[in-house]
Structure 1
Amino acid sequence: MIIYCDMDMVLCNFLKGAEKTTGEPFPDKSGMSKDEKKSIISDNKDFWDTLEWMPDGKALWKQITKGGSDVRILSAYAEWDPNCKRGKRVWIARNLNPKPSKIHLVRREQKKDYANSDALLIDDHVKNCREFISAGGKAIRHINTRQTISEFNSKYKGK
């Protein structure tokens, strides 16, 4: 089985990093516009590579990488930030051990193109999971690590 793992809000905490960088919750609409926040983030060259781990993100990575599955990163990049792809690759190099077998940084709507009967996507967005399943893959919607690991162990571990 090929396991495709998302990054933002699965392994790394984009929302916390965005709030720390902009001074406001993202994408909260009460203060700055989303575009203003995106501009502040893209002005921070190190934003993506300095994101914190999600709580228990390390435990999730450890669980899905043990057991010999082919684990890859499948993460959408922010088209509005020219630093995003580089920063995500730096974050992976600094933080993930073992390293993923491949890194796919794609537009959000391209994630479904990686689906097949031997592919599992772990992602926090319902739409990505639905599209991946419709395209012939399997998916776990990541809400929290405990739930994701439980579903992974009961349905997919060792397959």
Structure 2
Amino acid sequence: MTGSVLPDEIVELAQKVVDENARLGRKVVTAESCTGGLVAAALTEIPGSSAVLDRGFVTYSNQAKQETLGVSSELIETFGAVSIACVWAMAQGALAKSGADVAVAISGVAGPDGGTELKPVGTVVFARALRGKDGEPEGEMKLFDGQSRGEVRRQATLCALELLLP
């Protein structure tokens, strides 16, 4: 798609997300940390995305995750911000503070610094939550090629968009 500030592969996937969710009459919300709003930005590249995107939360700091999405400080202290527990709480908080039907949350270590032995650069965690569907957290941890910060964020954005497909 010419004229976009984002790579074609991201815009093409965002188009599918908007089309499929619009077809279902489903609203989405994003809760982003390491992607810094790229998932919401990708969706807003698509004409008609206002029928699908309710809102996007960029909660980069731990304090923002706590204040904006209601993630408990105890959860972050126990499991860390880059954990399935944290992104699940972020997704649940995004649903609670929006009119959306489905939420996706992302947190990770984009690099080049900040990695640890247990969570090296390129570690990104995702969660998807559906309104009215409680139970087991739906999340995953991925290790992307940490060759560059931009590449980690690009791969994380694609993965998060995939999670917004029905």
Structures share fold, TM-score greater than 0.5: no
Q: TM-score under structure 2 normalisation?
A: 0.34
Higher strand share: 2
Highest relative contact order (Cα 8 Å, sep 6+), 1 or 2? 1
Q: Which structure has the larger Rg?
A: 1
